[in-house]
Amino acid sequence: MRIDIISVAPNLLESPFNHSIVKRAKEKGLAEIIIHDLREYGLGNYKQIDDTQFGGGAGMVLMIEPIANCIRKLQAERVYDEVIYMTPDAKTLNQSTANTLSLKENILILTGHYKGVDQRIRDLFITKEISIGEYVLTGGELAAAVLVDAVVRLIPGVIGDEQSALTDSFQDGLLSPPVYTRPSNFEGNKVPEILLTGNFPKIDDWRSEKAYERTKNIRPDLLDKTS
Ligand code: 6GU
């Protein structure tokens, strides 16, 4: 998968993609992530990328020309399956969206800043808008990093133990059950007996039960969706 990200703060995006699973995906050639600095497409000597909004009001808006020029240049080089705009005023990212995106060939992600981007960018170029939750971040970069992490780990071959991604929280619509490792007794706090028995069908049952219990307590709304 190739992922292009257009950003006004490209340095914010360097570190998250050079660790752990995303780093491994890049090294294996399963993911290529290219960051584009919107400033390079800015207008005039000052490389202007934002301006005050028509109709008045506080906050700067990212202008249409720099973004259009950048997107068009990239689109001339390849066909994008999705052109995604990261914005709080969109549907929230979920596992199902991450699963779908993980099977795409080329994805272009636009991250906003300030008051957002000129609406015509959204009308003309964007095929999908994604928020990562009901709170406001300074810019879309951290949100884009979250999206890319969630998607890249699902690309077939990225996680060695294929089981691992499939048994994540949310893959079956439930939260994960509790997990334990050594020691089996920490200052009198013992690991549930069942996990030490080696009775794997029983252990599977126990995990399902705990996943259901945890979901019922913390996210009962998820149970309404799956049933
Ligand atoms: Cl995608 N962008 C910004 N700026 N804030 C957010 C967000 C995105 N998702 C949640 N909050």
Least confident window among 24-38, 54-68, 131-145, 160-174: 160-174
Average pLDDT over residues 77-82: 98
C-alpha 104 – ligand 1 centre gap (Å)? 23
∠ CA(126), CA(131), CA(134), 5° rounding?
150
CA angle (58, 63, 66) in 5-degree steps: 150
Instruction: Pick one of 3.40.50.620, 3.40.1550.10, 3.30.950.10, 3.40.1280.10 as the CATH number of 2-152.
Output: 3.40.1280.10
pLDDT digits (tens, 9 = 90+) for 151-209: 999 999 998 765 677 778 787 899 999 999 999 999 999 999 999 999 999 999 999 99
**H or E element in which residue 100 lies:** helix 95-101
* Diameter over CA atoms, the chain: 71
* CB of residue 9 inside a 6 A radius of ligand 1: no
| Segments making up each domain of the chain, as ranges | 2-152, 167-226
Ligand 1 mean position, distance from CA 59 (Å): 16
Q: Is the pLDDT of residue 135 over 90?
A: yes
DSSP letters along 118-161, please? Answer: -HHHHHHT-SEEEE-SSS--SSSHHHHHHHHHHHHTTSTTSSSS
The CATH class, in words, for 167-226 is mainly alpha
Parallel, antiparallel, or unpaired: how do β-strands 82-92 and 106-111 relate?
parallel
Å from CA of 38 to ligand 1 middle: 18
Distances (CA, A) of 134 to 89, 90, 208, 223: 9, 10, 29, 21
Q: Residue 29 pLDDT more than 60?
A: yes
The pLDDT of 115-133, averaged and rounded, is 97
Answer whether 116 contacts ligand 1 (Cβ < 6 A): no
87 CB within 6 A, ligand 1: yes
ipTM of this complex: 0.97
| pLDDT at residue 136 is higher than 90 | yes
For residue 117, pLDDT beyond 80: yes
Question: Is the minimum distance from the CB of 91 to ligand 1 under 6 angstroms?
Answer: no
